[in-house]
Amino acid sequence: MTIEKGYVRVRWGQLHYRRAGNDGPALVLLHQTANSGRMWLPILPLLGERLRAWALDTPGFGMSDPPPAQPIFNDYCDVFFEALDALGLAQCSLLGFHTGAGFAAGMAARAPERISRLILMGTPIFDPDDDNTRRTRAARRGWAPDPHGEYLLRMWRIYSNPDLWVRHRELTDRLLAGPHAWWASAAVSDTEVRELLPAIRCPTLLLSGSKDFMIAKQEVAAALIPDARLIVLPGETLIADHKPADVAEQILAFLLSPAC
């Protein structure tokens, strides 16, 4: 399966995407902070066998141009809608992971006529003193280069994936995002995503690895979204890296079923 790359024009410049597949329903994938659309490469070819799938780089991440100043949550959602318009997608399904799940949920709640089905992997529901909030606060720390490169080791240590090449990918994406790599996660954590969920009207799949640190929030989301079901697969947080065939199977079954 060939992965095509391209750009669309949005208000902040160019937004980069990777695409697989030429037939079937349209699916747009949104990544977590501070990754890029590269995180979907293990499953993108599998999805492209049955779908038309686009993995977007959030503005300021991957190869997408950054915003000129720190955006708020609705700014990101607006830009993603601009990208859908530029891609010719009047309606599509959305899949989001962590930060991307927050934006996907916001888009589905705001424009139900545009989002046919929704997949959330780690819904970012933040409470004042839980681990998710502490992680996000930590992510806001800047990592300025130092003469001995010690900042690289400090950044390496914040990633814990047992697969060292996945860990390397996460670090290099973080480096590419630069000093404002926390902007997208801040936009989500400063938003009451919990309050958006009851407005979602499309069929929704909550899909996670059993070791995802946001797994408990998926259960909260399942109770708040009217037409939602929860599936937990055994595995790490980045389940698409470790069990791509299983994840792709669940996504395809959900999106291609005649009724949910």
The structural domains of the chain, with segments of one domain joined by +, span 4-127+183-256
4-127+183-256: which CATH topology? Rossmann fold (3.40.50)
Output the CA–CA distances (angstroms, integers) from residue 168 to 66, 139, 165, 174, in the order listed.
22, 17, 5, 10
Strands annotated E in 11-143: 13-20, 26-30, 52-56, 92-97, 115-121
* pLDDT, tens digit (0-9, with 9 covering 90-100), for 141-159: 667 889 999 989 988 988 8
3-class secondary structure, 228 = strand
Taking the C-alpha atoms of residue 49 and residue 252, their distance in angstroms, rounded to an integer, is 10
Q: Could you report the per-residue pLDDT of 84-126, keeping only the tens digit for each? A: 999 999 999 999 999 999 999 999 999 999 999 999 999 999 8
For 165-223, the pLDDT digits (tens) are 999 999 999 999 998 899 999 999 889 999 999 999 999 999 999 999 899 999 999 99
